[in-house]
């Protein structure tokens, strides 16, 4: 294994777990975190949660689970190149979407709207709530009892109000400090993965075309490279060869620019990382091209009328479920009915957020469709 850089997170400089546990026998502490995430219920549910396309629309489109695995692969590869803690980086990458609602961002927006008078809903906060409270796998504690560094990586964004409520884990948002480089890396690896793989899924679906992508310089340039090297290549092979070059370009740029930033900032420890500006970054030359790509995806894929039709249905499903349970909490399963005695809206949000796409649709039919009993 590559020797860690002095500014990487490690067991030696970790702030530990909320509840002290005996050290693992055959693996490291950060490996233990990664393993707990992989085995938790919320991670398994990602298999049937939307990335862009609702789960039932096709077997070949990415889900939150396949996306998370792809983010983890990119994160781990870059972490190794930068001599960072691969196990921590991978743990953050695998857990970054645990709190997502069914139906992707449309589901989150709808649930946040439902919760506007009750503290709102944000998937990063929900991911932290899952690993801190909601998972029920261990006899001695709620949640997964993850290391501080893993938990802070999961919490990518946080308002001042929520940071004050969260205590130590929210402190960096109040003090204006940074998380570990591993957490910063997982955040941008997420972007690399979804920017490229949404292009792939968009082309596969037929909602965007290769002709449209001629206006996206980073795609068009890499397509030309592929066509020059492999004359006559077409179809899925052409698309895959182009996209993998885009991923490589972004990853290499991120590695080189981050090394420069680390050197220029003169960081020599994890404390230096926390006190410095964001260090994991793309080069100034690449950022405009990435902005064009993201704008293209927003305008041509995420706002495509067929996607918007499905997301509009998704919003109504979430809103209807929330209204039904708020009106009569007795419709909830016993576990969540019990939780309503402490905080009814939050218990309902926990239940809905934990649903898969197909379970949410099935639950909606149970509550609203005439003739549905169970």
Q: What is the pLDDT along the chain (374 residues), one digit of tens a residue?
A: 579 999 999 999 999 999 999 999 999 999 999 999 999 999 999 998 876 654 445 444 678 899 999 999 999 999 999 999 999 999 999 999 999 999 988 899 999 999 999 999 999 999 999 999 999 999 999 999 999 999 999 998 888 889 989 989 999 999 999 999 999 999 999 999 999 999 998 998 889 999 999 999 999 999 999 999 999 999 999 999 999 999 999 999 999 999 999 999 999 999 999 999 999 999 999 999 999 999 999 999 988 988 888 889 989 999 999 999 999 999 999 999 999 999 999 999 999 999 999 999 999 999 998 765 55
**Structural domain contains residue 13:** no
Q: What are phi and psi of 103, to 5 degrees?
A: 70, 25
For residue 109 the two structure tokens come to 């927006």
pTM of the model: 0.93
Cβ neighbors of 324 (< 8 A, separation 6 or more) are 331, 367, 368
Q: Examine the domain organization and report whether 291 and 361 are in the same domain.
A: no
Q: Examine the domain organization and report whether 59 and 90 are in the same domain.
A: yes
For residue 254 the two structure tokens come to 């991120």
For residue 91 the two structure tokens come to 């743990």
Sign of CA dihedral 303, 304, 305, 307: negative
Q: Examine the domain organization and report whether 270 and 335 are in the same domain.
A: no
Q: What are phi and psi of 291, to 5 degrees?
A: -65, -40
The CATH code of the domain that includes 266 is 1.10.3210.10
Cβ-based burial of 298 (10 A; exposed 0-12, middle 13-18, buried ≥19): exposed
- Domain count for the chain, please give it: 2
**Structural domain contains residue 11:** no
Cβ-based burial of 128 (10 A; exposed 0-12, middle 13-18, buried ≥19): buried
- CA dist., res. 301 & res. 108, Å (int): 18
The DSSP secondary-structure symbol of 333 reads -
Domain final position from 279, 304, 329: 304
Question: To which residue do tokens 């409520």 refer?
Answer: 165
**Structural domain contains residue 64:** yes
Length of the chain: 374
Q: Examine the domain organization and report whether 135 and 187 are in the same domain.
A: yes
Domain final position from 262, 287, 304: 304
Residues 250, 282 contacting (CB under 8 angstroms): yes
- CA dist., res. 103 & res. 13, Å (int): 39
Cβ-based burial of 83 (10 A; exposed 0-12, middle 13-18, buried ≥19): middle
Largest Cα–Cα separation, the chain? 67
Q: Examine the domain organization and report whether 260 and 156 are in the same domain.
A: yes
Domain final position from 268, 288, 304: 304
Cβ neighbors of 258 (< 8 A, separation 6 or more) are 82, 181, 185, 279, 280, 281
Q: Considering only CA atoms, which of 160, 147, 133, 187 is closest in space to residue 33?
A: 147
Q: Examine the domain organization and report whether 330 and 343 are in the same domain.
A: yes
Cβ-based burial of 34 (10 A; exposed 0-12, middle 13-18, buried ≥19): buried
Q: Examine the domain organization and report whether 322 and 245 are in the same domain.
A: no
Q: Which domain holds residue 347?
A: 309-368
């Amino acid at each position: 294994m590559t020797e860690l850089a002095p500014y990487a997170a490690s067991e030696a400089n970790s702030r530990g777990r909320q509840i002290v546990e005996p050290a693992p026998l055959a693996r490291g502490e950060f490996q233990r975190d990664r393993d707990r995430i992989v085995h938790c219920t919320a991670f398994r549910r990602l298999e049937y949660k939307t990335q862009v396309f609702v789960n039932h629309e096709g077997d070949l489109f990415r889900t939150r689970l396949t996306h998370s695995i792809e983010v983890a692969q990119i994160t781990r590869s870059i972490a190794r190149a930068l001599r960072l803690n691969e196990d921590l980086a991978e743990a953050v990458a695998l857990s970054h979407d645990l709190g997502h609602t069914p139906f992707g961002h449309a589901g989150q927006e709808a649930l946040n709207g439902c919760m506007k008078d009750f503290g709102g809903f944000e998937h990063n906060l929900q991911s932290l709530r899952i690993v801190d409270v909601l998972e029920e796998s261990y006899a001695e504690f709620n949640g997964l009892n993850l290391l501080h560094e893993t938990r802070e990586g999961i919490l990518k964004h946080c308002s001042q109000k929520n940071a004050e409520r969260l205590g130590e884990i929210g402190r960096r948002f109040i003090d204006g400090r940074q998380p570990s480089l591993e957490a910063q890396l997982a955040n941008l690896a997420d972007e690399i993965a979804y920017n490229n793989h949404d292009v792939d899924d968009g082309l596969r679906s037929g909602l965007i075309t290769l002709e449209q992508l001629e206006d996206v310089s980073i795609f068009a340039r890499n397509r030309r490279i592929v066509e020059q090297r492999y004359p006559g290549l077409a179809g899925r092979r052409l698309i895959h060869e182009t996209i993998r070059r885009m991923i490589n370009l972004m990853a290499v740029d991120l590695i080189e620019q981050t090394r420069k930033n680390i050197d220029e900032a003169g960081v020599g420890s994890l404390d230096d990382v926390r006190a410095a500006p964001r260090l994991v970054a793309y080069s100034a030359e690449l950022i405009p091209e990435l902005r064009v790509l993201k704008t293209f995806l927003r305008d041509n894929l995420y706002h495509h009328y067929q996607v918007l039709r499905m997301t509009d249905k998704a919003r109504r499903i979430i809103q209807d479920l929330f209204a039904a349970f708020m009106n009569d909490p007795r419709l909830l399963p016993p576990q969540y009915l019990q939780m309503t005695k402490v905080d009814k809206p939050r218990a309902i949000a926990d239940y809905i957020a934990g649903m898969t796409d197909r379970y949410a649709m099935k639950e909606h039919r149970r509550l609203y469709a005439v003739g549905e009993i169970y």
